[in-house]
Amino acid sequence: MRAAIIKHTYDAVMKPHIQASSEIIEKPAFTFIDLFAGIGGFRIALEQAGGKCVFSSEWDKNAQETYFKNFGEIPFGDITKEETKSHIPDNFDILCGGFPCQPFSICGRKKGFEDTRGTLFFDICQILEEKQPKICILENVSHLTKHDGGRTFRIIIESLRNLGYNVAYKVLNAKDFSLAQSRERIFIVGTKQGLFNFEKIKKGESVVLKDMLDQDGDFEFLNKEEYTLLDKTYVKQQDKTGLIFCGYRNKGIWKKGIRPNTEYLSRCHRQPNRIYSIEGTHPTIPSQETSGRFFIYNPKTDKVRKLTINECYRLMGFPDSFIKSNNVGEKYRQIGNSVAIPVVKAIIDSLIEQNFLNQSAENDNVRGYIQQLEFCF
């Protein structure tokens, strides 16, 4: 299916690459470019806020296909190529993207921008240096702050500062933005005028799994003998994540090195075997779990079933109308690689409210917030 779609659209769309949004915004509140676009999570959030995408880039062919189905355009490919960068327009307002983080391999004798050479972040820096947009919004795993003893993150922040950006960052959890998923990601916001205040972001109402599930459908239930539920005295909600771990699947395990009578620990410590109550949140949906082995327990019906693929997309804030890949494994991989849409939407809404899309924004707007940028490594 992918080959058929790509074949008949490449000549028309890629030569020349005419990007056409699925929803034409005649007078956008701002313009943005969508880097490492995946299947368009950032784009949906920014378009919801009134923005218009003027360039997109994604190297993965399967993700390109899904992006095309939903936005009517095939993203440009490899952003490391100068040919790709040559199509980026001037005078856009925001650069956004969930960039991959490869190890920064050189010894760090130089500082900032030059230390990023050979990584995809270096390509972001090149674009920022040349185009100088008002704002950049970057997303990555929360562990980024600890990678290589904190050195990688320090280089990223110093690089953005050296390019003329005031940099704020914070780890945000999707569960705080009306999604029943505990998903922590770090967001980095660079601004030309003033310093973005994360504390002014408006969070959403608290929800749990049962609030976001399908009420009926072709569900995949487990038989009673296929799982073990924990005694109720051991079931409690985790304060930080909102998770309620309540059981595990009775899957075969490696027995070598397992102490007698502790086999259940091996089962329950493997994430795909875990079962969570719908009275709490769901753990982070990963990109590596391409079989969708996510199991939930309904105390009212006393049944365990697999989370559906539609529910996985809903837990990331994607609308039910979103057109998914035809390949099951790709569906799970693509959503696991995506971004929680309501979190990005809350950030862009706050940027607008804090007047960062207006060139006259003053540094005094965020006086006293600079302490967030101190490093504690």
SS3 120: helix
**Residue 160: beta bridge partners?**
none
Q: Is the peptide bond before 319 cis (omega within 30 degrees of 0)?
A: no
Q: Is the pLDDT of residue 377 over 70?
A: no
The CATH fold of domain 2-204+336-373: Rossmann fold (3.40.50)
Cβ atoms within 10 Å, residue 362: 11
Q: Encoding tokens for residue 247?
A: 């059981």
Between 58 and 358, the higher pLDDT residue: 58
Residues 6+ apart with CB under 8 A from 280: 180, 208, 209, 237, 238, 242, 243, 244
The CATH fold of domain 218-307: DNA Methylase; Chain A, domain 2 (3.90.120)
**Residue 296: beta bridge partners?**
276, 305
Q: Is the pLDDT of residue 263 over 70?
A: no
User: For position 117, what pLDDT does the model report?
Assistant: 60
Alpha-carbon gap, residue 33 to 259, rounded angstroms: 54
The answer to whether the beta carbons of residues 98 and 48 sit under 8 Å apart is no
Q: Is the dihedral of CA 65, 70, 72, 74 positive or negative?
A: negative
Instruction: Note the pLDDT tens digit of each residue in 156-194.
Output: 999 999 999 999 999 999 999 999 999 999 999 999 989
Phi-psi label, residue 217: left if phi above 0, alpha if psi -120 to 50, beta otherwise: left
DSSP state of 86: T
Phi first, then psi: give them for residue 35, nearest 5 degrees.
Answer: -95, 150
Q: Is the dihedral of CA 323, 328, 334, 340 positive or negative?
A: positive
Task: Give the HSE-up count for residue 248: Cα atoms under 13 Å, Cβ half-sphere.
Answer: 16
User: For position 177, what pLDDT does the model report?
Assistant: 98
Q: In this predicted structure, which of 183-197, 221-235, 240-254 has the lowest mean pLDDT?
A: 240-254
Length of the chain: 377
Q: What is the largest CA-CA distance in the chain?
A: 68
Q: In this predicted structure, which of 5-19, 87-101, 248-262, 295-309 has the lowest mean pLDDT?
A: 5-19
pTM of the full structure? 0.85
User: For position 259, what pLDDT does the model report?
Assistant: 58
User: For position 4, what pLDDT does the model report?
Assistant: 39
Mean pLDDT across 311-335: 97
Residues 6+ apart with CB under 8 A from 139: 42, 97, 98, 99, 185, 186, 187, 188, 339, 344
Q: How far is CA 137 from CA 64, 107, 120, 196, in A?
A: 21, 27, 15, 11
Domain borders along the chain are 2-204+336-373, 218-307
CA–centroid distance for 361 within its chain: 28
The answer to whether the beta carbons of residues 33 and 96 sit under 8 Å apart is yes
SS3 88: coil
User: For position 195, what pLDDT does the model report?
Assistant: 97
Strand order in the sheet with 135-141: 51-56, 30-35, 94-97, 135-141, 184-191, 166-173
Could you confirm whether 312 is annotated as catalytic? no
Candidates 101, 107, 312, 376; catalytic one: 101
Report long-range pairs for 102-108 (Cβ below 8 Å, ≥24 apart): 103/147, 103/148, 103/152, 104/148, 104/151, 104/152, 104/155, 108/151, 108/155
Quickly state the pLDDT bin for 136 (edges 50, 70, 90).
very high
Quickly state the pLDDT bin for 104 (edges 50, 70, 90).
low
**Could you check whether 2-204+336-373 and 218-307 share the same CATH topology?**
no
